[in-house]
Structure 1
Amino acid sequence: MDVDVLSFSQNHIDVLVDSLVDGGWRFSGIYGFPKEEHKHKTGLLLKKLADSYDKPWLCGGDFNLMLVSSEKQGGNFRVEEADIFRRAMDYCQFVDMGYLGHDITWTNNRGGAYKIHERLDRFVANQAWKELYPGYFITHLSKRRSDHLPILLCMKEAFATPKKKRLYRFEEMWLRNVKCAEIIANVWEGGGDLC
């Protein structure tokens, strides 16, 4: 597997992953602009990345943006920020990949009326990436010291090399097993497969 860095900044890293099995795909790690007056730049960054390459694309990280009001508990939900994210998602042809576990990924670590919980961290992908790796799931893990929950993407057999079919070889020691002749006869008569 080869990973080539295509571009990077304080807010992203964009790489091409060539695993020789799947023809290659992109991953972009994102750290969204945290200040309110710069959040629109996260949308601009995603759109700029979308115009760079046409490959199956996975994108994940702390976007510092939410899509819907149910992703925020406490404080004010800003519709204009959600619109920025939604427009960028549409432009990139991304879909949210869902998750297992906790509903939120960030807390301000305050109590009472000042307590805020938000889902800022996520994975999104285009349809081509989802078709390339259909056996995935995302889990929101438990936080330890950070104000963010770690998010984990599990990809079933994502980086496995194609398995070569092993040749069937008869082992002489099987003849010493009294059941061996019976098993071979049953399979032979039924037209079944030994392996």
Structure 2
Amino acid sequence: MNLIHVSVKSDASKVPGYITFVYNAPTDERKMMVWNKMRNFVANIKSSWLCLRDFNYVIATTEKLGKLPVNVRRVLNFHCILADCELLDLGYQGSKFTRNNRRLGEEHVKERLDRAVANCEFRENFQNALVTIMDPIGSDHHLLFVDCDHR
């Protein structure tokens, strides 16, 4: 299904109650299956929730450079799923784009498809959280590093 959803507990340190790793499908039909699964998670989440990785959507037209223009309907759909799941983008430090198709000329595309989002409880419990976009290693996607207690 392209999701790994885990409940996290620790006596040693403060951790998010839930973490969901996303690798969203490239087709709209499969994306909708992932979104619906995430909507189902919301009803059972009773603490902080961190959700991250490849959503395969941008949140704004400024998050894509090259080739075809951003599909505004898809941007609005992504905003709706984030609102339905009560998730907020955590922002980032580092490269503006998280995917580079490594092609040249008119075929070159850069996009911010990878991100970390979280619910309000996560934001309250982890006010110093910092998302750093790191250089890619063997992939066309950059790595995300989430430090929940950045100082």
TM-based fold match above 0.5: yes
Aligned with 2:8: secondary structure? strand
| Counterpart selection for 2:36 from 44, 64, 70 | 44
Number of residue equivalences: 148
Amino acid at match of 2:8: V
Q: Is the 8 A contact 1:33 1:41 kept in 2?
A: no
Q: Residue in 2 aligned with 1:70?
A: 62
Larger RCO (CA within 8 A; separation ≥ 6): 2
- Provide the C-alpha distance between the structure 1 equivalents of 2:26 and 2:113, rounded to a whole number of angstroms: 10
- Provide the C-alpha distance between the structure 2 equivalents of 1:13 and 1:147, rounded to a whole number of angstroms: 21
| Counterpart selection for 1:86 from 56, 79, 84 | 79
- Provide the C-alpha distance between the structure 1 equivalents of 2:34 and 2:79, rounded to a whole number of angstroms: 11
Q: Residue in 1 aligned with 2:21?
A: 29
1:43-75: CA deviation from partner (whole Å, max 9, x where unpaired): 222212212322211111111111111111012
- Provide the C-alpha distance between the structure 1 equivalents of 2:141 and 2:37, rounded to a whole number of angstroms: 22
- Provide the C-alpha distance between the structure 2 equivalents of 1:116 and 1:52, rounded to a whole number of angstroms: 38
2:10 matched to 1:13?
no
Q: Residue in 1 aligned with 2:48?
A: 56
Shift of 1:22: 4.9
Q: Residue in 1 aligned with 2:114?
A: 121
2:133 matched to 1:140?
yes
TM-align CA RMSD: 1.8
Unaligned segments of structure 2, at least 5 residues: none
2:146 matched to 1:156?
no
Shift of 1:24: 6.2
Shift of 1:18: 1.1
Query: CA 1:77–1:23 in 2, change beyond 3 Å: closer, same or farther?
Result: closer
Q: Is the 8 A contact 2:16 2:122 kept in 1?
A: no
Amino acid at match of 1:123: A
Query: CA 1:24–1:79 in 2, change beyond 3 Å: closer, same or farther?
Result: closer
Q: Is the 8 A contact 2:3 2:34 kept in 1?
A: no
- Provide the C-alpha distance between the structure 1 equivalents of 2:73 and 2:128, rounded to a whole number of angstroms: 34
Query: CA 1:112–1:37 in 2, change beyond 3 Å: closer, same or farther?
Result: farther
Matches within 5 A, 1:173-192: none
Q: Residue in 1 aligned with 2:102?
A: 109
Aligned with 2:121: secondary structure? helix
Q: Which has the larger radius of gyration?
A: 1
Shift of 1:23: 8.7
TM-score, scaled to structure 1: 0.70
